[in-house]
Amino acid sequence: MKTFKFAETSVFLHNGDLPDLLDHSGEIGVDTETTGLNLSRDRLCLIQIGISKNECHLVQFKKSELEKVDKYKNLISILANKKVKKIFHYARFDLAVIRKFLNVNCENIFCTKIASKLVRTYTDRHGLKDLCKEMLETDLNKSQQSSDWSTSNLSKNQIKYASHDVIFLFELKKKLLEMLERENRLELSEKLFSFLQTRVDLDLSGWCDTDIFSH
């Protein structure tokens, strides 16, 4: 394991699985990095697990080891734990990647992108960078967004970028929840988060570009 420190955040890059005892509050931030955005072509490279604003764990996947999911039993167990709330930004893609490569049905979700679309109706800017800027006054550096995540030697910049994709999700969720409550859209958001399982089924079965509800 390698440890990095960026401002107040400690980032732990694990050689294999997460540690046996990972202390968390029942809520984690999750993101994935892949070789691209095509679910049938691209592969999982990295999973980021944010514990708080100050702690983030990275699990790297080598191509040759993607079949050996037994190696990642602690990671799989936390993702499959229905009692743990998993916060994502654009959960739809990450959930499909997690289902496809780790064979995990990840439930109990909060998606900051869906929540943002339900309450920030005054804008069409729902990227993580936009949310961090407007709601947290934090400037997110997305320069490493399209970089080679399959490399075995991740750069310090990549590690920093990867951690930044999960450590702000806690504060964003808190603010978005207040807005969802204020606008009476909390129940609707929960129904949408539950529907993500079905959306992922469709995405992984060839209906990813189809709006099944359209005429």
Tokens of 114: 């869906």
> Which is nearer to Mn ion, 170 or 186 (by Cβ)?
170
By CB under 5 A, name the binding residues for Mn ion.
Answer: 31, 165
Residue nearest to Mn ion (CB): 165
> Which is nearer to Mn ion, 172 or 180 (by Cβ)?
172
H-helix or E-strand spanning residue 208:
none
> Which is nearer to Mn ion, 48 or 189 (by Cβ)?
48
> Which is nearer to Mn ion, 96 or 180 (by Cβ)?
96
Give me the least distance between CB of 121 and Mn ion, in Å please: 25
Give me the least distance between CB of 167 and Mn ion, in Å please: 12
Give me the least distance between CB of 171 and Mn ion, in Å please: 17
Longest alpha-carbon distance in the chain = 52
CA distance 136 to 146: 24
CA distance 103 to 7: 35
Give me the least distance between CB of 184 and Mn ion, in Å please: 31
Q: How many CA atoms lie within 13 Å of 36's alpha carbon, on the beta-carbon side?
A: 5
Cα 155 to Cα 15, 19, 160: the distances in Å are: 15, 22, 9
> Which is nearer to Mn ion, 107 or 165 (by Cβ)?
165
Give me the least distance between CB of 32 and Mn ion, in Å please: 7
Contact between 111 and 91 (Cβ < 8 Å): yes
SS3 assignment, position 209: coil
Tokens of 111: 């998606």
